[in-house]
Structure 1
Amino acid sequence: MKVFRIALGLMSLLILFAATSAQAHDMWLQKKGDKAWLLYGHPGSTDPYPLSRITKMTGITANQWGVELEPVEHKGEAFAWLNDDFAVLTVDFDNKYWYNTEEDGWRNFLDPREVRGTIIDEGRSWKLSKEIIAWQPFLAKPIGQRAEIVPLKDPTTLKPGDTLPVMLYYEGKPMPVEGAQVSVTSDAAAEHPEMGKLEAQKPFNVTVGPTGHQIIIGKYEHRLDETRRVWFAFSLTFTTR
Structure 2
Amino acid sequence: MANQSLKISLLAVALLLCTLPALAHDLWLERDSNGYLLYQGHRHSAHAGAEFVNYDPAFAKSAVCVDDSGAARSPALVKSFPVRIAANCTALFVSFSSGYWSKTAWETRNVPKNQASGVVESWLSEESVKRIDRWTPAVAQPLSNGLELTPLSDPARLKPGDKLTVLVTERKQPRAGVPVAYGGDTRVTSGEDGKVAIRLRQGGMQLIEASLETQLADGKADTLIQATTLQFELPQ
TM range (shorter): 0.7 to 0.9
- 2:114 — aligned with what? 113
Q: Note the 1:1-241 alignment, pairs <5 A.
A: 20-44=20-44, 45-61=51-67, 62-73=69-80, 76-82=81-87, 85-101=88-104, 103-104=105-106, 106-109=108-111, 111-119=112-120, 121-177=121-177, 180-183=178-181, 185=182, 190=183, 192-224=184-216, 228-241=222-235
TM-score after normalising by structure 2: 0.78
Q: Alignment RMSD, CA only?
A: 2.5
CA-CA distance at 1:36 after TM superposition: 1.0
In 1, the alpha carbon distance for the partners of 2:155 and 2:145 equals 19
CA-CA distance at 1:149 after TM superposition: 0.2
Q: Could you tell me whether the CA contact under 8 Å between 2:176 and 2:189 is conserved in 1?
A: no
In 2, the alpha carbon distance for the partners of 1:134 and 1:211 equals 17
* Secondary structure of 1:113 counterpart: helix
Q: Could you tell me whether the CA contact under 8 Å between 1:22 and 1:41 is conserved in 2?
A: no
Letter in 1 for 2:83: A
CA-CA distance at 1:230 after TM superposition: 0.8
- 2:16 — aligned with what? none
For structure 2, the 5+ residue unaligned runs are: 1-18, 45-50
TM-score after normalising by structure 1: 0.76
In 2, the alpha carbon distance for the partners of 1:43 and 1:29 equals 11
* Secondary structure of 1:139 counterpart: helix
Q: Could you tell me whether the CA contact under 8 Å between 1:26 and 1:234 is conserved in 2?
A: no
In 2, the alpha carbon distance for the partners of 1:29 and 1:238 equals 10
Aligned length: 208
CA-CA distance at 1:72 after TM superposition: 5.0
Moved over 6 A (4+): none
> Based on CA coordinates, which of the two structures has the bigger radius of gyration?
1
* Secondary structure of 2:129 counterpart: strand
Letter in 2 for 1:89: L
Letter in 1 for 2:171: E
